[in-house]
Amino acid sequence: MDKILEVLRLAWENLVDLSIFFFIALAIAATVDLLYLDIVARRSFRKHGLLGVLFTTCLGAFSPFCSFTVIPLIRKLLRGGVPLSAVMSFWIASPAMDPPIFALTAKEIGLPLATARLLGALVLAIGAGVIILLVEKRGGFKDVLRPEKKPAVDERERHAAPAQVAVAAGGGSAVLTEEPTPTGGPVPEDDDDDGAPWWPQAKASLKSKRNWRITGRNFLRDTVSLGKWLVFACVFEGVIRVYVPNGIITSILGGDKGWLAIPLAAVISIPLYLNGVGAIPIVGGLLAKGMAEGAAVTFLLAGSVTTIPAMVAVRSVVNNKVFALYIAFGMLGSILLGFLAQLLL
């Protein structure tokens, strides 16, 4: 009974900490929806593919979101037609690194490993974005979202959002009409944008009580649909911390494993729901017991991307192909970077 209460206590503490960023992500997603910022992002990233990857990588590296709390924003961007290459870069970079994580990593386990973690996160995110960008230029990844079971009648995702703005003759106010997308996923490039100015649409949307109501309903729906996975993630972490002794992790990733510790670090990071900060003391303890530095880099990178709760949330958003790519980038990329770090550190 005492252990169950300890699990619940840890789950509650984690839920309180993560909820702040979870609702920030939901609020940003609602703002994107209300102001049609997805139109701006879609136009910009399709026009400047590589620059878009670099920009979203840097944006993710400076954002405070973990692998789970970033999900609401990711889903909104993908549904708004923002290319997967830019979204994936942000998706990977965001949980892997931010300024507080870098500072704490440098303080706890040293500047060389903190720098390796930072560079590894940037390489992992940019590499994933560039690979996907090359496929996109060949016509791939037109449909990346998991199909909806039924039409999302409350969604304001548009086939041709600029065309929905009708300005009355004589300078009257703009009026928005709703045209929901039957299933999730980016809309085709040839009919989703007529190039009309964005700001008149945004102003019209702000004046529309109907759009405010729709945005509010979407906010509440996303809170419920994604919030249940956040609760699961927090309870899961509590169970791991209470029922899995640290000695098991130490024995698997100890210094006697040599180079084998690097792929093992990627595998063992999967069940551990650790945010960027929570992994630092564990790695510090493992390094003190002789774990290879390359394995530490792999553990820090893979652990932020491929945890089971985060993967469950990712799977609820994207289709099988994108989900497999996400796991491959997180696992294989972190292992390769771990081997590289082991050679250089």
**Mean pLDDT by groups of 10 residues along the chain of 345 residues:** 84 79 78 74 72 84 70 80 87 78 83 90 92 90 73 43 39 38 39 62 81 85 77 75 70 68 83 64 75 86 75 79 88 92 85
Q: CA-CA distance, 294 to 202, in Å (whole number)?
A: 48
Q: CA-CA distance, 331 to 227, in Å (whole number)?
A: 26
Q: CA-CA distance, 54 to 44, in Å (whole number)?
A: 13
Q: CA-CA distance, 43 to 204, in Å (whole number)?
A: 20
What SS3 state is found at 318? Answer: strand
> What local confidence, expressed as pLDDT, does residue 126 receive?
93
Is the distance from CB of 124 to CB of 304 less than 8 angstroms?
A: no
> What local confidence, expressed as pLDDT, does residue 38 receive?
66
Beta bridge partners of 145: 318
> What local confidence, expressed as pLDDT, does residue 335 receive?
93
> What local confidence, expressed as pLDDT, does residue 1 receive?
76
Residue 160 structure tokens: 């041709």
Q: Name residue, tokens 């929806």.
A: 33
Q: Name residue, tokens 């990329």.
A: 333
Per residue, the 3-state secondary structure of 124-180, as one string, reads HHHHHHHHHHHHHHCCCCCCCECCCCCCCCCCCCCCCHHHHCEECCCCCCEECCCCC
